[in-house]
Structure formats: C-alpha cells, structure tokens
Structure 1
C-alpha cells in the first residue's frame, strides 16, 4: 500500500477492530470491544488485518510511530509525551494549533521509512504502524521492515492503524468513518486516554450525523460526481482515490459520488482520458500542506491553473463551471479527526443552504 505521508482478561478489547477496519466480523463483537476498551485494563489483545493477535501486557511508555498520521492522533489524545520517535515526520506548520509545536519536538528516526536497525534499537516498547499489514504481519509492506521475531526480541509490541493499513484489503467499499473512529478508540485504550478518545469520536459523529441529516437522503442519481485531483502525485498520469480509501468515505458522507468509486483498492493510476470520460461535476484541488497559508494558496493556484490550461482538462464540466474545492490532501486521504471536518466542508459547498 502507498502511504499518504505527512496506519487472558481483556483479550477481545480491540479484536473487533478487524471488523471496523477490514470489513469482516460482526458488529456486536466490535461494540463489545469498544465498551471494554474504555477501561484500559491490561493485558490488552489487538489484532492485525488477518486477525493475528498481539497482546500488550502493560501500558506502553515509549512509543514510536511510523509516520505523521499516527503521531497526530496520539497528540490529539494527549499521549504525545509517550512518543519517543517517528518516521515520515510532519513538516513544520502542517499540524493545527499547538499540535505543531509538540510534533516538532518528537525525535525523527527517519525522514521516510524508519531504518530497521534504528527502529529495533530505539528503546520503544510499542510501534504503531500505518503501513500495509501483509502476509505474516511481521513487516508492514514498507522497506526492510523487522519481522515479528525481531520485534519480539527487541521487546517491541507491533500494532497497526488499521483504517489505513488494512484499507486496500477491505472486502467492501469504505463509505463511513467507523474504521477511523475505531482506531481512535483503540489508541485511547492502549494509551490510557479513552475519555479523550470518546470526546474526539463524539465530535466527529456530531458533524457527520448533521451532514447526513441534511443531505443523506439525496438520491444517488442526484448526487454530484466528485474527482479528487492529487496534484502532488504528478500530472502526467493522475493518481485517483478508489473505493477502499478513506477519501471515498469522506466524499460519500458529504453527499457526493466519488468519480472513481468503481475502482477496487485504495489508489490507482489512470489516464486523463479516464478522467475525461467521468467528466466530474466538482474537483477537489488536493495539495499537501506546505506549512503556511500563503504557500498553500500558491499550491492551490498552481493546481487550478494547470487544470484550466491543460488541453485534456480545460473542457471538463467542473473546470468550465469553476467548481473547485481547495481542501488539503491530508485531511481527506489520511485517516484522522479532520476527516469529519472535510465531510462538512464538502457538503457546505455542494449543498449551499442545506448544511449549516
């Protein structure tokens, strides 16, 4: 999977996240797990995308995150003091408010994937992995990852941010944020911040429920089509978000139709002729956070200018109508609290007057 950088007693506490994150199991199991997770009792057992179990005997004290997405969630939960290192660090100014200053203090173990030797020698007792959970689950699908045996020998428990790591393996399209909410709940249980996790999830639900109340009843045929233009992924051959990517859930909840919802998986490279064939009603200018409002606006301007001037795209319905949304990539394609904010922002633009 491609990472979007910037994933004995209470044994079933988090096992239900397999259902929420990977499309399997029964809802009852997930609900029971979420209920137990509030207690934060140890040992806790978590599962990966294939149901392989990892038991945490005690609360972690030294956590390493694979990239900025899991780091941001821990910071939002108030567990940032437990993080001793990260890979794929967030750029300065890319996280909101006080989270940015806290994130900049976290030791960078790798500008991209953390080298295996550095991860194993980090002194961590927990590694939160946002990358693909594959095969025997020892690796994570990114670079020369440690095996399960190597993690065990180093005394490091290895768990996944399943809404991202398991996305491509989901058995059905992702159309809601339940997997993201389940990740937040699970991290809250693991780090002893369940109360804060509950608050974050409740706030997300409040926003998405309000949007659903306003536009959820809109007939499928009446919903505008929506293309996420990943400008930073390159313009020669567009990379689109498919129906297993969290962006598909964001778009769907906002009352739109992902132009590439017929694509099974998380991401796919297509040709501009495919985009032309879809002829979307709206286009999101998905650019990554540059660290300042001015730099972001410049990037949005560049993306819009490219679409307006390129022979293959200037005749698209959305381009001719000026139906552009300037919403950053991270809050759309990376699982997190801001997914709910993006649902609200898209809906307000597509259904003016209906969404407050």
Structure 2
C-alpha cells in the first residue's frame, strides 16, 4: 500500500516533469548581480540565487525536492518522528542530502553546513525563544525565506497565517521556482495539484451533507488543533468537510475541549507524529468522558493522516484525495 501511495504521489507531484528528483536548469538569475526579488510574508526581499540551502522540517524539505532542487541543498534538520521516509517519492533525495540534525535547526547547523540560505518557518525552525530567527541569520550574512503558511499575521505576537493554505503552498512553489529557475516545474506542479483537487471536489458532499471535522494534533488537558490558516483547513474543506475550528484566525493553536463538544464534529482527523502514536491518540479520544456524546466518537469516525499531510507540503493534494474518499463514506452513513 505504501509503495502504491508513493507512486501516486510521485505521479501527482511531477506530472509532465521528467521523474521525481529531476534536476532543473540553472537560473538565468544566477549570473544576474541584481538578484531575484520576491514577496515573502508581505515584504519584498531581493535574494542572490542560493547554492547551499538548509531547510527545517519535512514539508519544507519536500517542497525543495518536489521542485528538483536537491542539488542546491546543503542539508536539512528534522525530528525522526515524522513518518516512514523509505517509500516516499523523494527517498533518493533524502538519501542524497545530508540530515544535519534530528532536532530543531540551529545557527551552528547552518554554519557547519556552510549554508548560504535558510528555508524555515515560524515554529517550523524559527523561534524567538532560542534566538534562531531571520534577523539573527541576517546578522551572520545568511538570508532566509519564511514558509508562507507560518507568516505572522499581526493579530497577536504569535498567530500565523495570511492567506488560504493552498494559496500559501502555491505561493511558495511559485517563489522558489522563480528564485531557482524552476518556474516551469513549479507551474506544472501547481496545475497538477489543482486538477487533482478539483477531481476530489467534484465528488465531495455538499450543503448539509458535508461532515463537520475536528483536527486533533495532540494534548489531553487541552487539544492542539488547526484554524483557518493551517493546511488542515483546506485539506478538510476541499475533501468535502467543514473544519469546526474555521473561525480561528490562526494556523495551529490550542482550544478547550468544551468548544469541541459544542461543535459536535462528525469526524475526527488525527495528525500522526511524535512519541504518542495515532493508535494511542485514538484510544484516548474514544475513552475521554467529555467526548462520549460527540458524533465522531459515538460512531467511531476517526481518520488518520501523517504530519506531513497536514502541514504545508507537496503531499497536501494526496491527503485531500484520501480524506475525500473517507468523508464521502461518512456522509453516506449520516
């Protein structure tokens, strides 16, 4: 099953492009001393074309791989709790690019790798509390690009998200394509993703038949979940459901269990990663007394997606397709 999924992901991610992990033509901007100007998190930034990119986390790393940019990478940092990487479409790229750290990215990692560019995000590597920030890297002469899903939106000091999640994915693919001379590949990926998602939407439940869905990441005292600016928002909505936390103007955040009970989801999606397994999370949800009358719990409608399916990544469209199949069945059972 994993091999079939990997093949499908490869096909979707490289439609009309020659093979997973294919290299791209050098950017014409490589020789342009003026650099390439992109808009990142609402700011115009001019970059020299990087040769040694360092990335943080699985979704960000796979954006580079999907664009065929593994030859431009000096390494990546990623905890080893983000799923099995042996059968993913980019296995050869993971084998080729150095795994710098199984913890959060640090300035030392970047300097040791002789990195000349960091691609990370707020809470996807960048954090104020440990001093690993774009401003800190700038002082070292190292430019950075912030994952668009994680852009801070100014409503609070930590809330994130400035556009619909799939728009964030397409924005980053377009920007990276422009920066590295992979514009045609980026456009092909985006077109393939949109086609795949449109096919799921055409079959999706409508109106009152759309199941209400709660995304459960982690937490027992309080659940960690996703609002309207996190990837789960559109993974759920494009698949044919309604995110019960749509009204939260944030990407990932903590809520109270009472809000979950009040919104009575028909389906719960578990984010699979970390020390607590998906099966352990499911067991907790099914046995947690305050949830006993929630529709999803009464009918045991719980679906599992991997972490990388639920953060901005080239795996989002495949996740939409798989969840879409499940939600159609759930809607028929309601």
TM over 0.5: yes
> Do the aligned residues in 2 keep the contact of 1:125 with 1:156 (CA within 8 Å)?
yes
Is contact 2:150-2:161 (8 Å) kept? no
CA distance in 1, matches of 2:263, 2:139: 51
Alignment partner for residue 64 of structure 1, among 41, 44, 54? 54
Over 6 Å off, 4+ runs:
none
Q: Secondary structure, in 3 states, of the residue corresponding to 2:201?
A: helix
1:88 deviates by 2.6
Q: What SS does the corresponding residue of 1:284 show, helix, strand or coil?
A: strand
Q: Which runs of 5+ in 1 are unaligned?
A: 1-37, 134-138, 291-297
1:4 maps to what in 2? none
Q: Kindly tell me: are residues 343 and 206 of structure 1, through their superposed partners in 2, closer, same or farther at Cα, counting changes over 3 Å?
A: same
Aligned residues: 295
1:335 to 306, 312, 324: 312
> What do the CA deviations read for 1:38-77 (whole angstroms, capped 9, x no partner)?
97534211233241x32123x3211111332221111222
Distance 1:121 1:258, change over 3 A: same
Aligned alpha-carbon RMSD (Å): 3.0
Matched, 1:228 2:215: yes
In structure 2, the residue matched to 1:21 is none
Quick one: distance in 2 between partners of 1:144 and 1:151? Answer: 9
- Cα separation, 2, equivalents of 1:131 and 1:79: 22
Look up the SS of the partner of 1:235 in the other structure.
Answer: coil
Q: CA deviation at 1:239?
A: 1.0
Contact 1:88 1:112 in 2 (8 A): yes
How many Å separate the matches in 2 of 1:348 and 1:229? 19
Q: What residue in structure 2 maps to residue 267 of structure 1?
A: 252
State the partner residue of 1:10. none
Give the TM-score of the pair, scaled to structure 1. Answer: 0.73
Moved more, 88-97 or 197-206: 88-97
Match of 2:241 among 232, 250, 256: 256
Return the offset for 1:165. Answer: 3.4
Q: 2:131 aligns with which of 117, 124, 144?
A: 144
Shift of 1:152: 4.7
- Change beyond 3 A, Cα 1:89–1:107: farther
**Counterpart check, 1:198 vs 2:198:** no
* Partner Cα separation in structure 1 for residue 171 and residue 50 of structure 2: 19
1:78 equivalent among 68, 71, 74: 68
Q: Secondary structure at the match of 1:130?
A: strand
Alignment of 1:161-180 (within 5 A): 161-166=147-152, 168-170=159-161, 174=164, 177-180=166-169
Unmatched tracts of structure 2, length 5 or more: 1-25, 154-158
Partner of 2:41 in structure 1? 49
**Displacement after TM superposition at 1:104 (Å):** 4.6
Distance 2:247 2:330 in 1: 30
Q: 8 Å contact 1:67–1:86 — kept in the other structure?
A: yes
Q: Deviations over 1:242-284 (max 9, x none)?
A: 1121211211112211111122212222222221111111111
User: Compared with structure 1, are the counterparts of its residues 142 and 252 closer, same or farther at alpha carbon in structure 2 (3 Å cutoff)?
Assistant: farther
User: Aligned equivalents of 1:100 and 1:289: distance in 2?
Assistant: 21
Counterparts of 1:308 and 1:89, CA distance in 2: 28
